[in-house]
Amino acid sequence: MELMDAYGSPLYVYSRTDIENNWREFDQAFGAHPHLVCYAVKANSNIAVLNVLAKLGSGFDIVSIGELERVLKAGGEASKCVFSGVAKTVIEIERALEVGVRCFNVESESELDRINTVAKSIGKKAPISIRVNPNVDAKTHPYISTGLKENKFGVDIGEAIDLYKKANNADYLEVQGLDCHIGSQITDVSPFLDALDKVLALVWQLNDEGISIHHLDLGGGVGIDYDGEQTINIKAYIDAIINKVGQTEIILEPGRAIVGNAGIFVTKVEFLKQNSEHSFAIVDGAMNDLLRPSFYNAYHQVLPVNENATGTKAQWDLVGPICETGDFLAKNRDLSLSEGDYLALMSAGAYGFSMSSNYNSRPRVAEVMVSGENHQLVRKRESVQDLFAKERLYEG
């Protein structure tokens, strides 16, 4: 309640300790094996979050010039950034080369040509790896599956050798690694290891062609517990990787696994509304603040902020103010509620604020970081005036 009194509602709250512990779990599992843990910035790009990770020595997986500049602002090192994404622009490539990113993860032949052309224009070799699509089913939500032939990501693994030959012969490209990412919120280790086997077979073929691979970027996608799911044992997963790859350097790109369970979204019950079919708790948070339930039909556990709260007991749908039937945060939750109660949606640190918008002209909410008994505002709540501060009346 102290945070709600200080910062208002709705509100995102992140735990610095949990972020640090989650990142260290990946980093320490490698032991002395060559590795780089690159946090996937898209999961949560607040510069306070990035700064906490930069201080630990984290690398970063970026997919836009905006994410690159956020990392630099937060004190991260460009030399520890891998640049992913299917549509890198000339400006993005130039800036990444200028600051010295660790590697470009290339997703098409056209992109490879563009990077070579840009690198030539500024007289600087571009370090690259090629993202291969291994056609492995990650058994996750179809919107976050990335390793099948029907997905837009990567190069067909059967066509990768010819592209590597082209890259190896290019004057302004330097082959560094091989990249593979099969999806997100994966809770079974077997798809990862199936993809790795295919990747290693390609590495051996490339070696036969005289093309050396210095690192393997195995992407991210490790799932978290939203609703009692069995999750992956990080140490066992990384041990399995090391047993397969020898001394090759490994890059991993966890995002959700670092910040997902380190954040909550707190919202206030404005009205209770019941009819013969449904019980609705109308809250001040909405799909523009936390899109995942509407977009993926994603589940977030809902807990009352005041554990001793009493009220009307029912199976409640938590719905927001947005003028869309799809505007809900949770459905059919057994809760005892009163108007004015605060509710915490758990495991909201990943793809929460980073996917938020101003739909229905709603200001985006504040973000707060806590560390022990201390708390700090790390993003101000937007004002209504902020919504149209960059707009202009038409004067024609």
Q: Give tens-digit pLDDT for 22-42.
A: 999 999 999 999 999 999 999
pLDDT tier at 221 (50, 70, 90 boundaries)?
A: very high
Q: If you average pLDDT over residues 331-343, what whole number do you get?
A: 96
Q: From CA 123, how far away is CA 358, in angstroms rounded?
A: 42
Contacts of 393 (CB under 8 A, 6+ apart): none
**Annotated binding-site ranges:** 221, 253-256, 292, 296, 324, 351
- Is the pLDDT confidence value at 219 over 80? yes
Distances (CA, A) of 83 to 95, 126, 212, 213: 11, 11, 20, 17
**Annotated binding-site ranges for pyridoxal 5'-phosphate:** 221, 253-256, 351
Structural tokens at position 233? 């044992």
Domains, in order of start, for the chain: 2-11+261-384 (2.40.37.10), 16-258 (3.20.20.10)
- Is the pLDDT confidence value at 144 over 90? no
For 147-193, the pLDDT digits (tens) are 445 566 689 888 899 999 999 999 999 999 999 998 888 998 998 99
pLDDT tier at 307 (50, 70, 90 boundaries)?
A: confident
Bridge pairing between strands 366-371 and 374-379: antiparallel
- Is the pLDDT confidence value at 142 over 60? no
From the list 89, 2, 8, the residue with the least C-alpha distance to 365 is 8
Does 323 participate in catalysis according to the annotation?
Answer: yes
Decide: 324 and 293 in contact? Cβ < 8 Å. Answer: no
From the list 33, 36, 29, 37, the residue with the least C-alpha distance to 247 is 33
- Give the bridge partners for 252, in sequence order: 37
Percentage of the chain modeled with pLDDT above 90: 86
**Annotated binding-site ranges for substrate:** 256, 292, 296, 324, 351
For 59-91, the pLDDT digits (tens) are 999 999 999 999 999 999 999 999 999 999 999
Question: Among residues 38, 81, 180, 323, which one is catalytic?
Answer: 323
- Is the pLDDT confidence value at 128 over 80? yes
For 226-255, the pLDDT digits (tens) are 988 889 999 999 999 999 999 999 999 999
Say if residue 372 is exposed, middle or buried (CB neighbours under 10 Å; 0-12, 13-18, 19+): exposed
The tokens 């229905």 sit on which residue? 360
pLDDT score recorded for residue 147: 41
Q: If you average pLDDT over residues 111-118, what whole number do you get?
A: 98
pLDDT score recorded for residue 134: 84
**What does the DSSP 8-state code read for residue 389?**
T
Q: What is the mean pLDDT of the chain?
A: 94
Asked if the bond preceding 127 is cis, omega within 30° of 0, the reply is no
pLDDT score recorded for residue 391: 96
- Is the pLDDT confidence value at 308 over 80? no
Decide: 1 and 306 in contact? Cβ < 8 Å. Answer: yes
pLDDT score recorded for residue 358: 98
Q: From CA 343, how far away is CA 116, in angstroms rounded?
A: 52
Q: If you average pLDDT over residues 88-107, what whole number do you get?
A: 98
Structural tokens at position 177? 């690694």
